[in-house]
Chain A
Amino acid sequence: MTDTRFHAPERLDEAIGLLTADDEARPLAGGQTLVAMLNAELLRPRAIVSLHRIAALKGVERRAGGSLWIGAMTTHSALAASAELRGAHRLLAEAAARIGHEAIRNRGTIGGAVAHADPSADYPAALVALDAEIEIEGPRGKRSLPAHQFFRGFLTTALEPGELVTGVVLLPGPAKAATRFEKLARVEGDFATASVAVVLGLDAGRVTSARLTLGGCGSVPIQSIEAEQIIAGHTLSDAVLKKAGELLAAAADPIDDVRGTAAYRRAIIPGLVARAVRSALAKGAA
Chain B
Amino acid sequence: MNTPAGPIGQSLPRLEAAEKASGAALYTGDMVLPGMLHGAIVQSPHAHARILGYDLSAALAVPGVRATVTGDDVDYRYMGLVVKDELAIAKGKVRYIGEPVAAVAAVDIETARRAAALIEVRYQPLPAVTAIEEAIKPEAPILHEDFAKYAKIYDAPTNRGNILAHSVATQGDPGKGFAAADVVVEATYQIAAQYHAYMEPVAALAAFDPSGKVTVWSSTQSIFRTQANLHECLGMPMTKIRCIAPRVGGGFGGKSEATVQPIAVLLARKAKAPVRVVLSRVEDMTTMRSRHPGWIRLKTGATRDGKLVARECELWFDGGAYADDSPAVMNFALFFVRGPYDIPNVHCEGYAVYTNKLRAGAFRGFGNPQMSFASECQIDELAKKLGMDPLELRRRNALPKGAKWFGGQEVKETALVEALDTIRERAGWAKPMPPASPGKKRGRGIACMAHSSAFLSTGAIIRLQNDGTIALQVGAVDIGQGSDTALAQMAASAFLLPVEQINLSTPDTDAVPYNSGTNASRVTYMVGKAVGEAAGKVRDQLLEHGAAMLAVKREEVALAEGGRVVVTGGSRRNAEVSFADIAGRSIWAVGGPITGSSGVMAQYLMDQGHTKMSGWLSFEAVGIFTFGAQVVEVEVDEVTGAVEVTRAVCVHDVGRAINPGATIGQIQGGFVQGLGYGLCEEMVWEEGRLANPSFMDYKIPSALEVPAEIECVLIEKPEPSHPFGARGVGEPPLVGAAAAIANAVADAIGKPVRQLPLTPERVLGAMLKP
Give bound CA distance, A39 to B110, whole Å: 11
User: What residues on B are CB-neighbors of A39 within 8 Å?
Assistant: 280
The residue that A40 contacts in the complex, of B638, B694, B700, with Cβ under 8 A, is B694
Check A267/B702 contact, CB under 8 A, given A40-B282, A258-B691, A272-B640: no
Instruction: Please name the residue on chain A nearest to B692 by beta carbon.
Output: A258
B680 at the interface (CB under 8 A from A): yes
Interface segment among B65-73, B337-345, B759-767: the answer is B759-767
Kindly specify which of A140-148, A170-178, A185-193, A232-240 makes contact with the partner chain.
Answer: A185-193
> Is there contact, CB below 8 Å, between B640 and A187?
no
Query: B699, A187: Cβ atoms under 8 Å?
Result: yes
Contacts of B691 in A (CB 8 A): 258
Contact with B along A179-200 (1 / 0, CB 8 A): 0000010111110010000000
B638 contacts across to A, CB distance below 8 A: 271
A188 touches B110 (CB 8 A): no
Residue-wise, chain A 259-278 has the 8 Å CB interface mask toward B (1 for contact) of: 01100100110011011000
A181–B472 Cα distance when bound, in Å, is 58
Counting contact residues on chain A (CB < 8 A from B), the size range is 20 to 34
User: CB-nearest residue of chain A relative to B680?
Assistant: A186
Residue among B640, B696, B700 making CB contact with A184, cutoff 8 Å:
B640
Partner of B760 from the list A1, A258, A260 (CB cut-off 8 Å) is: A260
Interface: B108 (CB within 8 A): yes
Contact (Cβ within 8 A) A36 B761: no
Q: How far is the CA of A101 from the CA of B759 in the complex (A)?
A: 21
Partner of B111, one of A1, A193, A274, A275: A1
The contact string, 1 if C-beta is below 8 Å from chain A, for chain B 688-726, is 000110101111111011000000000000000000000
Q: With A40-B282, A258-B692, A260-B759 in contact, do A186 and B113 touch (Cβ < 8 Å)?
A: no
**Chain A residues near B138 (CB-CB < 8 A):** none
Residues of B457-510 at the interface with A, using a CB-CB cut-off of 8 Å, are none
- Expressed in whole angstroms, the Cα–Cα distance for A188 and B699 within the complex equals 10
Tell me which residues across on chain A come within 8 A of B640, comparing CB atoms: 184, 268, 271-272
8 Å CB contact of B704 from A1, A40, A188, A272: A188
Whole-angstrom distance between the alpha carbons of A122 and B760 in the complex? Answer: 20
**Neighbouring B residues of A188 by C-beta, 8 Å:** 702, 704-705
| Nearest CB of chain B from residue A212's CB, rounded to whole Å | 16
Minimum CB distance partner of A40 in chain B: B282
Q: Could you say which residues of chain A place their CB within 8 Å of the CB of B694?
A: 40
Q: A184 near B760 (CB under 8 angstroms)?
A: yes
A272 surroundings in chain B (CB, below 8 A): 639-640
Q: How far is the CA of A274 from the CA of B637 in the complex (A)?
A: 14
Partner of A187, one of B111, B692, B701: B701
B136 at the interface (CB under 8 A from A): no
Give chain B's interface residue range (CB within 8 Å of chain A): 20 to 34
- Closest B residue to A274 by beta carbon equals B639
- CB nearest neighbor in B for A191: B696
Which of chain A's residues has its CB closest to B765's CB?
A264
Q: A264-B764, A275-B639 are in contact. Are A186 and B111 (CB under 8 A)?
A: no
Which residues of the partner chain B approach A261 to less than 8 Å between Cβ atoms? 761
Report the separation of the CA atoms of residues A258 and B704 in the bound assembly, to the nearest whole angstrom.
21
CA–CA, A272 and B694, complex, Å: 28
Interface status of B602 (Cβ within 8 A of chain A): no
* Cβ contact within 8 Å between B699 and A186: yes
Instruction: Tell me which residues across on chain A come within 8 A of B558, comparing CB atoms.
Output: none
Q: Are B642 and A184 in contact (CB under 8 A)?
A: yes
Interface string of A1-36 (1 = CB under 8 A from B): 110000000000000000000000000000000001
Say whether B684 faces chain A, with CB atoms less than 8 Å apart: yes
B116 to A: closest C-beta gap in Å: 11
Are A267 and B764 touching (Cβ within 8 A)? yes
The residue of chain A having its C-beta at the shortest distance from the C-beta of B638 within the complex is A271
Answer whether residue B432 sits at the interface, using C-beta atoms and an 8 A cutoff. Answer: no
**Does B435 interact with chain A (Cβ within 8 Å)?**
no
Chain B residues within an 8 Å CB radius of A187: 680, 699-702, 704-705
Contact A1 B705 (CB under 8 A): no
- Which of A39, A40, A187, A193 is packed against the most chain B CB atoms within 10 Å? A187
- What residues on A are CB-neighbors of B642 within 8 Å? 184
Smallest CB-CB separation from B637: which chain A residue?
Answer: A184
* Residue ranges of B at the interface with A (Cβ–Cβ < 8 Å): 108, 110-111, 113, 280, 282, 439, 638-642, 680, 684, 691-692, 694, 696-702, 704-705, 759-761, 764, 768
Q: Kindly list the 5 A-B residue pairs having the minimum CB-CB distance in the complex, ordered from nearest.
A: A271-B639, A188-B704, A264-B761, A258-B692, A187-B699
Given A184-B642, A186-B680, 18 other A-B contacts at CB below 8 A?
A184-B760, A186-B759, A186-B760, A188-B702, A188-B705, A189-B702, A258-B698, A260-B759, A260-B760, A261-B761, A264-B764, A267-B768, A268-B640, A268-B641, A268-B760, A268-B764, A272-B639, A272-B640
Q: What are 30 A-to-B residue pairs whose CB atoms are below 8 Å?
A: A1-B110, A39-B280, A40-B282, A40-B694, A41-B113, A186-B680, A186-B759, A186-B760, A187-B680, A187-B700, A187-B705, A188-B702, A188-B704, A189-B702, A189-B704, A190-B699, A193-B760, A258-B684, A258-B698, A260-B759, A260-B761, A261-B761, A264-B760, A264-B761, A267-B768, A268-B639, A268-B764, A272-B640, A274-B639, A275-B639
